[in-house]
Amino acid sequence: MARSTSKDAQALFQSLRSAYAATPTNLKIIDLYVVFAVLTAAIQIVYMAIVGSFPFNSFLSGVLSCIGTAVLAVCLRIQVNKDNKEFKDLPPERAFADFVLCNLVLHLVIMNFLG
Amino acid sequence: MSKLVHLLGFVTLNVFLLPFLCKSFSPETPTDRRVLVLLDDLAIQSSHSLFFKSLQSRGFDLDFKLAYDPKISLQRYGQYLYDALILFSPTIEGFGGSIDQAAILDFVDSGHDLIIGADANASDLIREIATECGVDFDEDSNALVIDHTSYAVSDTEGDHTLIASDDFINSNVILGSKKIEAPVLFQGIGHTINPTSSLVLKVLSASPSAYSANPKSKLSSPPSLTGSAISLVSIVQARNNARVLISGSLSIFSNRFFRSGVQKAGSAIKHEKSGNEQFLTELSKWVFHERGHLKAVNVRHHKVGEADEPAVYRINDDLEYSIDIYEWSGTSWEPYVADDVQLQFYMMSPYVLKTLSTDQKGHYFTSFKVPDVYGVFQFKVEYNRLGYTSLSLSKQIPVRPFRHNEYERFIPAAYPYYGAAFSMMAGFFVFTAIYLYNK
Amino acid sequence: MAASETSNGTTLRHAFGNVFALFILLLIGVLAFSIRLFSVIKYESVIHEFDPYFNYRVTQFLTKKGIYDFWNWFDDRTWYPLGRVIGGTVFPGLTLTAGTIWWIVNSLNIPLSVETVCVFTAPIFSAFASWATYLLTKEVKGVGAGLTAAALLAMVPSYISRSVAGSYDNEAVAIFALIFTFYLYIKTLNTGSLFYATLNAIAYFYMVCSWGGYTFIINLIPMHVLLCIVTGRYSSRLYIAYAPLVVLGTLLAALVPVVGFNAVMTSEHFASFLVFIIIHVVALVYYIKGVLSPRMFKVAVTLVLSVGLVVCFAVIAVLVALVASSPTKGWSGRSLSLLDPTYASKYIPIIASVSEHQPPTWPSYFMDINVLAFLVPAGIIACFSPLSDASSFVILYIVTSVYFSGVMVRLMLVLAPAACIMSGIALSEAFEVFTRSIKFQLPGAPIDSQVDAGDKSSDNTTAQNDVAKTEKSEDTIKERPSRKNKKKEKEPVGQPSVKSRFEKRLLVLPLEASILAIFLLVLLGAFYVVHSVWAAAEAYSAPSIVLTSHSHDGLHVFDDFREAYAWLSHNTEVDDKVASWWDYGYQTTAMANRTVIVDNNTWNNTHIATVGTAMSSPEKAAWEIFNSLDVKYVLVVFGGLVGYPSDDINKFLWMVRIGGGVFPHIKEPDYLRDGQYRIDSQATPTMLNCLMYKLSYYRFVETDGKGFDRVRRTEIGKKYFKLNYFEEVFTTHHWMVRIYKLKPPKNRIRGKTKKSKSKTSSKTGKRSGTKKNPWH
């Protein structure tokens, strides 16, 4: 039973990796960006767990900037992904422009909340 | 032309009289000047002349009037004509003129001083005035203070109503710095004071063996007033610092008692002169504000390093507070030196309580840090010492919390978060560059 | 040729229709603005009630001192001696909005005073709110429903009651922000554009700035997302609509000082975080499902489930432990009283005592939303066919708001937009059915063809026929939208038009029935309009600062409140402190400009209980309490002479309850005789001796000789008494406001001997008994 589950798990990972390799490059760039953001968030949470949450607003703004960046990047990925039928007539420039605007607002708020 | 001459004459007369008018009582010179003395018998003027002369020698203008004189009055057109009142009329049932109990009490409530001398047949009016001031005479109108162990040895008085008492209040302000060696001769009625009142003090108490009863009749029930609870001479300092002296004996002020010698029963010492003159002279100095009268001026507070008074403080500010206190010496204001003046920084309860340090010249100061609580605080100085006028100063000042830009700008513990946020922004720029130019 | 002609005709009609819709919207805005002006016409341009006076004072400060001083303002003239940090405890949206309008207007050299701007802010924003309702309903159902809903919202009495000219309170701008936020959410959901998601977050920020009711949004939207996921309507548009809103919205909410860290720490926000996690899980699942083959997917599912469940349990256990450790489970008192309607009356008497927080009665539903109460269920059904994301959202909105409005009268205001949207949908659908029935049964109307062009031509002819019909109907607004509704069905979304053609075949009613039905619906609308105008003019336009009454000799105006405040501001020192019950705190600081002890913010229960205890105590104890707070003047409101029912004697039991909640020596049964609250001769001695009784009825017997209290309808119990520690300094013209001063402490303390009946006055110039020889 265990052997079958572990073999299944391996097969699962193989199929996942092969499926992922098929994604276009720009989506892979976005995914890398998302991973970077989530990692930074994780580092900050670990730091907070060690040191304590004294300047809580700085902690919140740091973590939320990472999470926000990740979320917005995922939104961009959804909109730009050609497999997504709902967005097939959305020009990618428009999607990117929206993404930039949203990030600008996000970073403005982060700067305000940081100090 | 004649009208102009009249006008000129009027003006010069006024200018001439002005200095005299200014010599009256004012807060700058708190000693009373014009005293109305109400007597029920003009003979008192001569029989108590030593006491009156001691007052006149200190600069008081005594105005002797009969208590039932229909032309006496304390005030005219809203202005008081006198600064103090001495009532040596124990038998009077109703005053003449416009004076009555309410007028006398208003006189005291407007800041003027009063000396009441009651005696063996004190009328109800005098007793009522004394009760209003906080002192209760014995309800039995025939009772005198009798003391069978501390009476004054004498040839004539055999019923021990003439007592010699030396149970003085322990206060240099009230009785002067010189100790009164001889006991004081007293013959009259006793009174008690309201124990809950902080305004009344016993200056001369009876000994523990004294009691108040009718000397001519046998005692049918135990006397109501006994022991040291009986006060022979009391003082009252009202909240507006008017001072009242109430004595149960008129003869305590008389020349006869001033001059006579005294020997207390049970003591071998025979004093040549009783302590009455010294006692009453010193006491009258206190009553007429020649001693123990304080004023506080120049209340100042400012932040450390600045000179002018701010309208609002911030929490955790450092501030300095200073005040000048002077005492009236009878002729001028002298610096008051003490080490127990305290300042409270008060908001429903004192957050900071500091004893003010002094430079021995009447200037008191301190500095402290504003507490970490915001609100509307008061600088409170409450100074109530025995025999001194009460100082009650309070100044309101708000204390605000930090403004949004008064916090620390960059907190070291938060550098990782700053770093993360900026790295996100940098990553965003890099990402857009790569994404846009990726082919 | 015919096709191009018809297409030209269609585009012309489209353009004409759009212009017409714009014109109608403008008229709706003017209607919304003008129906709220009754109070200005009947009374004067004055600020109403109590809370608006505080907002007005804050706005004055903002316009005078600028935004930085406003942001850091520490107010030392209220809650003496604690003070209040205004910057951190007020919702700045309303004051910043009015301040901005004032600043813009003044820099254009139009000299409007701050008061004028404050008075008229609410009507202006109600016009904006009706436009936002149009936009929202247009997203759900179409232009016709949108215009109907906007017209209904412009007049709905519940909204009028809180946004009449002069009612300068948070809800005036908050309802606009609420509807606008919902509109942007639905728009993002429908289009999936990140641009609208950004705008949504900013609109949510404006809502957080404006009103404490923003928690409704941050709980309703996650509920809707969860509903969509559960009903299988997950799509990536949902993710785009929700996830950025949570992140940006939390950040923006934390920026507002009042909310601060509550945005992440209180239970009111936990729902949004929970759904945030859930939606990520769901998105990941969908992504992997799309990428893998079905067999692999099953394997993935089993693997993830086993691991994920363990992690989930651990996290939830931690969360529950955290939340359970706080006594209110992390919810604020007001939110808890919403969830559990009996909570406030048990634990927080201050919240329970406010009349706006009581549950509404059934008649108040009819008074406040009138005809819409009947149309809402029809609208709900109309939303189900077809059920889209937007219509499921509106259904959820109406259901939750009906529940909350049943808990607290004040929240009828949140119900009003939902009811208007539903009713608008219902009305426009009904009109659509009826006019279609009429169209198909008119003589000369061609039977519908299968071709789209054919449909258009039939629409053309029936349009002319409908034009002919317009003269008959009284309410043109209801007629035109139905035409536009039909045009909108030709939009690129192909599905509904096929359905509607089928519907057209099915839903055809007899001609007479539909004509009659249209007439009746128009009549219903007319009743609604008449009722709304009546409610606006008579019921909701009273500024409670000025009262009027009609009697046989004309109109009486009671301006006692302003008289009292003017007296205070002219006859007392600037630093004098005035104590009164907390209702009048804002008005006293704003109009009389004096420091008060407690005011309507009610943030410090102990302070209020202190004042309540003082009012319930005998004179001496009350004097002690007030003296310890440095109070100089005490103000009471008394309605017994004129019959004003909201006076302090009627509120007195709440003072006892609140005071007794903190100081146990005040017991409510002491003031009641056999459980009844009386002030006549049967009242308890505690009641007859308490300060509130004495201050209200001092010298009252002098007015009519008997002391008949018109509100309580009895003669008072203790008629002749003196005040020893207070002195009366001012009573207004109709005895409605009475001001007393604390007497300073007595100069001399009397001895213990009882006062004898005075014989002294009779004897003057006499001496008693025998003279004592002074020489002895």
ipTM of model: 0.91
What is the CATH classification number for the domain harbouring B383? 2.60.40.1930
If asked whether residues B374 and B239 sit together in one domain, one would say no
Which has the closest alpha carbon to C712: C679, C736, C685?
C679
Is any Cβ of chain B less than 8 angstroms from the Cβ of A61? Answer: yes
Taking the CB of residue C267, how many other CB atoms lie within 10 A of it? 17
Please report whether residue B214 resides in a domain.
yes
Contacts of C71 in chain B (CB under 8 A): 404
Is any Cβ of chain A less than 8 angstroms from the Cβ of C237? Answer: yes
* One-letter identity of residue C746: K
Q: Does residue B333 surpass a pLDDT of 80?
A: yes
Minimal-distance CA residue of chain A relative to B405? A115
Contacts of C74 in chain B (CB under 8 A): 312, 374, 398, 400-401
Distance CA B120, CA B125 (A): 14
Tell me phi and psi for residue C516, to 5 degrees.
Answer: -60, -40
Question: What mean pLDDT do residues B179-202 have?
Answer: 86
Task: State the pLDDT at residue C61.
Answer: 92
Distance CA C611, CA C613 (A): 5
Confidence at B420, pLDDT banded by 50, 70, 90? confident
CB contact (8 A) between residue C290 and residue A106: no
If asked whether residues B307 and B436 sit together in one domain, one would say no
Domain holding B106, by residue range, is: 19-287
Task: State the pLDDT at residue C764.
Answer: 47
If asked whether residues B66 and B150 sit together in one domain, one would say yes
Query: Could you tell me which chains touch chain B, where touching means 3 or more CB pairs under 8 A?
Result: A, C
Contacts of B90 in chain C (CB under 8 A): 772
| C171 close to C126: Cβ distance less than 8 angstroms | no
Contacts of C70 (CB under 8 A, 6+ apart): C58, C61, C62, C86, C87, C92, C95
Per-residue burial over C160-183, b = 16 or more CB atoms within 10 Å of its CB, e = otherwise: bbbbbbbbbbbbbbbbbbbbbbbb
User: Residue C496 class from Cβ within 10 Å (0-12 exposed, 13-18 middle, 19+ buried)?
Assistant: middle
Q: What is the dihedral of CA C349, C353, C357, C358, to 10 degrees?
A: 100
Helix axes B415-436, A56-80, angle to 10 degrees: 20
Which has the closest alpha carbon to B372: B343, B404, B347, B355?
B347
| B124 close to C756: Cβ distance less than 8 angstroms | yes
Distance CA B93, CA B100 (A): 10
Distance CA B233, CA C45 (A): 70
Task: State the pLDDT at residue C451.
Answer: 35
If asked whether residues B40 and B134 sit together in one domain, one would say yes
Question: What mean pLDDT do residues B410-419 have?
Answer: 81
> How far is CA C149 from each of CA C129, C134, C415, C453, rounded to the nearest angstrom?
11, 6, 13, 31
Minimal-distance CA residue of chain B relative to C607? B348
| B315 close to B401: Cβ distance less than 8 angstroms | yes
Mean predicted lDDT score pLDDT of chain A: 83
Distance CA C48, CA C542 (A): 8
Residues in chain C: 776
If asked whether residues B367 and B426 sit together in one domain, one would say no
| C594 close to C568: Cβ distance less than 8 angstroms | yes
If asked whether residues B439 and B366 sit together in one domain, one would say no
If asked whether residues B184 and B299 sit together in one domain, one would say no
| B327 close to B355: Cβ distance less than 8 angstroms | no
Per-residue tokens: C39:
């109070």
Distance CA C723, CA C699 (A): 10
> How far is CA B33 from each of CA B20, B29, B110, B216, C684, rounded to the nearest angstrom?
11, 10, 16, 43, 56
- Of B62-66, B152-156, C324-328, C629-633, the poorest mean pLDDT is in C324-328
> How far is CA C243 from each of CA A95, B29, C188, rounded to the nearest angstrom?
16, 81, 12
CB contact (8 A) between residue C756 and residue B254: no
Distance CA C251, CA C272 (A): 13
| B277 close to B165: Cβ distance less than 8 angstroms | no
CB contact (8 A) between residue C765 and residue B398: no
If asked whether residues B229 and B314 sit together in one domain, one would say no
Which has the closest alpha carbon to C71: C82, C58, C55, C56?
C58
> How far is CA C523 from each of CA B384, C70, C143, C599, rounded to the nearest angstrom?
83, 51, 22, 47
Where are the domains positioned within chain A? 25-114
- C82, C751, C768 member nearest B131 (Cβ): C751
Contacts of A86 in chain C (CB under 8 A): 192, 235-237
Please report whether residue B187 resides in a domain.
yes
| B150 close to B264: Cβ distance less than 8 angstroms | yes
Please report whether residue B203 resides in a domain.
yes
Q: What is the pLDDT of residues A26-79, one digit of tens each?
A: 788 888 889 999 999 998 888 888 887 778 888 888 888 999 999 999 888 888
If asked whether residues B341 and B262 sit together in one domain, one would say no
- β-strands B318-328, B333-335 pairing: antiparallel
Minimal-distance CA residue of chain A relative to C256? A113
Task: State the pLDDT at residue C450.
Answer: 36
| B287 close to B245: Cβ distance less than 8 angstroms | yes
* One-letter identity of residue C116: T
Distance CA C136, CA C651 (A): 43
| B145 close to B212: Cβ distance less than 8 angstroms | yes
Task: State the pLDDT at residue B223.
Answer: 82
If asked whether residues B329 and B378 sit together in one domain, one would say yes
Task: State the pLDDT at residue C548.
Answer: 81
Task: State the pLDDT at residue C152.
Answer: 93
Task: List, as one string, the DSSP characters of B6-50.
Answer: HHHHHHHHHHHHHHHHHTS-BTTB-S--EEEEEESSTHHHHHTHH
Which stretches in chain C have pLDDT values below 70?
1-7, 292-297, 322-323, 325-335, 337, 341, 344-348, 443-507, 755-776
Q: Out of B287, B321, B347, pick the residue that ends a domain.
A: B287
What is the number of structural domains in chain B?
3
Sign of CA dihedral C36, C40, C41, C42: positive
Distance CA C86, CA C92 (A): 10
Is residue C84 helix, strand or coil?
A: strand
Contacts of C751 in chain B (CB under 8 A): 130-136, 192-194
Asked if residue B371 has a cis previous peptide bond (ω within 30° of 0), the answer is: no
Asked if residue C81 has a cis previous peptide bond (ω within 30° of 0), the answer is: yes
Distance of CA A102 to the CA centre of its chain: 14
Task: List, as one string, the DSSP characters of C233-271.
Answer: ---HHHHHHHHHHHHHHHHHHHHSTTTTTHHHHSHHHHH
Contacts of A29 in chain B (CB under 8 A): 431, 434-435, 438
If asked whether residues B134 and B208 sit together in one domain, one would say yes
Q: Out of B237, B266, B287, pick the residue that ends a domain.
A: B287
Looking at the DSSP assignment, which residues form a beta bridge with residue B302? B320
If asked whether residues B119 and B194 sit together in one domain, one would say yes
**How large is the C-alpha radius of gyration of chain B?**
32
**If you ran DSSP here, which 8-state letter would residue C589 be given?**
I
Task: State the pLDDT at residue C192.
Answer: 83
Per-residue tokens: C176:
């606009």
Q: Out of B253, B287, B321, pick the residue that ends a domain.
A: B287
Distance CA A101, CA C202 (A): 12
Q: What is the pLDDT of residues C142-194, one digit of tens each?
A: 898 999 999 999 999 999 988 899 889 998 899 999 999 999 999 999 888 88
Task: State the pLDDT at residue C441.
Answer: 78
Task: State the pLDDT at residue C130.
Answer: 94
CB contact (8 A) between residue A58 and residue B424: no
CB contact (8 A) between residue B131 and residue C753: yes
Q: Spell out the alpha helix ranges (H) of A1-115.
A: 2-21, 25-51, 56-80, 92-114
Measure C753 CA to nearest chain B CA, in Å: 6
